[in-house]
Structure 1
């Protein structure tokens, strides 16, 4: 039995204090709301030096990274203005690379993704970072499938978040994975936060998009779909997760999203695949696997149905294509 979930947050000079405060505060509140086992939160730096945040506040580290021994539940690297120096620091990168195999999961916030990438932990994985830094990350690490569309991304046991307040969305998702939705909702209420923005919500112009569905069950399922594109997302699987019948699930999606569960899943997978095609050099087959399609041909057909263009055309477009606004018969979930 676990006595505590040990979470090590890694900081460095010119770090973004919110990238540390959002996860640590949410986990602390989770403990006060009854997390069992509780989280044990630690802050680590190279040689246990104080980390001077870009806001001018110095953070005292409790751990020297060189002396930390596993196992760890979560290893999380913060972002911040000092990310270039951090990613180029062999002492820091060596310790991240050493600790990662001893961690149940590894995460980054914002430009902390640069440190994970420098340690080789994002190779051949889908990852996100702040929208303003994605192109540079992709150019520097061509084996990383950078997607700056979502708020956070999970690829295996590696999690990356877009930046700043998306750290809270990611942490609420981790709490829900660890302890269930009831505790995550309790933490969000204490934080006076919306629970929680779905992973696939766009980083840019999110307030200009259609309002989130009013039904909490639909809202939570939409977030689950965006964060688990490669999983079984059939109507039956979604209904089982929500604890409702497939018929009731279809009624809820039709009422609150104007579409069926199958079409919603296919649209989420297709749009995520389009962003991945445009932001990486991955083959259509590799993109398809990451986004839940059985084959490259199935993905090509989804692109044609959704955008009226094939994958190669989408890759060459200067901007993201717009979905075709036309009714059609439901296409089975791939």
Structure 2
């Protein structure tokens, strides 16, 4: 069952990535390292200043860089959870700034998510999401936050579809909105991995070759491989998801932080599929950009786990040793 519609857009050319000869030195690997644009904003926020973060989000809005805007707003909100002083100063100085409204909406959802009182806290967050959406009608990121909010509050399918249609009218191939829809499918039909593929594959097919939506089937494959429930997904679909994500990876430069999480997930999936040489290729392309997700799904020490896998690959460890680092969950049928 395909819950949500796919959209079409003409393809465009993108340059191919150069491939490094070997992975980055282990001492250079940093978990969830920010890129060159975000890093100064986080450093400045750590010093209590908000102007760099405000300018960064204003620049992404002016250039309609919606993927970057989504990623930066998410990281800034995560930083504000532990260091809120700079954000509160920003909100006090310019409460109508579209950037501060966006980060505030994301922060409210993030704070509500782990709470036992999630439903009530999410209701309180609704006006913040509405304000962020009204600040710029072009921006799909508040609608991605609204989709996550709907999943957390267990909104009905019709309401979710209305949000989805509003989101993709603004940006038909926005990756964050597609991930939010995939998560909704996985949450409300636990074990419905085939339905997740049925949504992800057409979305990727319709997206431009360089779009991050090309990695959506990979995310469905990762969900299947780390879940212990649901019917079997044919291996051919898993292989096709990995192939599509590898083609996307090849279009971006090596050690590109924009592809860090995609490449880390692809490394995991390739290892589970026992495609060792292709896994080594992705390891080299990852460079120093290890990400918490997906390794936090299999270890409480995601960086240490990544480095152990890395060492095993680089030393040509036998397949049994590699497989032991990524045990498959027992699968039950529902």
TM-score by length of 2: 0.30
Q: More helix per residue: 1 or 2?
A: 2
Higher strand share: 1
Report 1 or 2 for greater relative contact order, CA contacts < 8 Å, sequence distance ≥ 6.
2
